Amino acid sequence: MQLVEPVPRRVLRDLLRARPGLTPTVVSDAGADGGAGDLALVTAARAGDRQALDQLLRRHYDRVYAVCRRILHHDADAADATQDALIAAVRGLASFDGNAQFGTWLYRVATNTCLDHLRRRKRRPTTPLDETFSVSELIATRPFDSTVVDQMAVQAALGRLPEDFRIAVVLRDVADLDYDAIAETLNVPIGTVRSRIARGRALLAKELGNQTGPHNHPTNQP
């Protein structure tokens, strides 16, 4: 029996952040000026500068979509949630106090939006398109770049995690929220957050280790 080696956390994080179906891109909110650049744009946007507002939202769009996509595990719902989150952020921009980075604040807005979508979804059960096929079937029938296959495998594995674990992992490894922010967002103790993240990562690594296909190669990289 082949032993399944753990998937390095860095690899999981990079794949989680990549938008499904696309090669990973550098997220612009991590640029040279980081949060300082966001703060200048927020100040200008509050003063009525629509170009600054547009730049601010474009800067964070991909990451917000990634957060929504990973939490909701459904393309259409993720697109709707992303739009709703950005609208909520614009309407609530005056409430941003600058104590946290704008990105952190925005991803919390996106998370709350996704939680609202999940509550509504429970009242109208649907089957996400992603669950109508398996990754191994796609690999066998269509030629994919290995990076795209890896992203699809992560998305499929993430969708099989319990909802609480999936959300915690996404908030930590996609949105880069710290444990305190995640605990506040989810209204649970920080110990619960740590437990969900640890167990979620372990289950995700196990799911990925069990994927089979020509592009899945366990690795010992740190």
Give the largest CA-CA distance in the chain.
64
Please check whether residue 218 lies inside any domain of the structure.
Answer: no
Q: Structure tokens of 194?
A: 């740590």
For residue 15, the Cα-to-chain-centroid distance in whole angstroms is 10
CATH number at residue 37: 1.10.1740.10
With beta carbons less than 8 A apart as the criterion, state whether 169 and 161 touch. Answer: yes
- Give the model's pLDDT for residue 124: 62
- Which runs of E-coded beta strand occur in the chain? none
Judged against a pLDDT cut of 70, whether residue 210 lies above it is answered with no
Q: For residue range 77-122, list pLDDT tens digits in order.
A: 999 999 999 999 999 998 898 888 899 899 999 999 999 998 887 7
- Give the model's pLDDT for residue 216: 42
Please check whether residue 37 lies inside any domain of the structure.
Answer: yes
Please check whether residue 40 lies inside any domain of the structure.
Answer: yes
With beta carbons less than 8 A apart as the criterion, state whether 59 and 105 touch. Answer: no
Q: How high does pLDDT run on average in the chain?
A: 74
How many structural domains compose the chain?
1
Binned at pLDDT 50, 70 and 90, residue 31 comes out as very low
Please check whether residue 1 lies inside any domain of the structure.
Answer: no
Please check whether residue 3 lies inside any domain of the structure.
Answer: no
Q: Which residues contact 161 (CB under 8 A, 6 or more apart)?
A: 169, 200, 203, 204, 207
Residue 105 structural domain: 12-209
Please check whether residue 16 lies inside any domain of the structure.
Answer: yes
Name the residue with higher pLDDT: 52 or 211.
52
Please check whether residue 220 lies inside any domain of the structure.
Answer: no
- Give the model's pLDDT for residue 158: 83
With beta carbons less than 8 A apart as the criterion, state whether 56 and 92 touch. Answer: no
- Give the model's pLDDT for residue 206: 86
Q: For residue range 115-165, list pLDDT tens digits in order.
A: 999 888 776 655 554 444 443 443 343 343 444 446 677 778 888 899 999
Judged against a pLDDT cut of 50, whether residue 58 lies above it is answered with yes
The count of C-alpha atoms lying within 13 angstroms of the C-alpha of 218, restricted to the half-sphere facing its C-beta, is 13
Q: Structure tokens of 149?
A: 């296959």
Please check whether residue 216 lies inside any domain of the structure.
Answer: no
The count of C-alpha atoms lying within 13 angstroms of the C-alpha of 179, restricted to the half-sphere facing its C-beta, is 10
If one counts every other C-beta atom within 10 angstroms of the C-beta of residue 26, the result is: 8
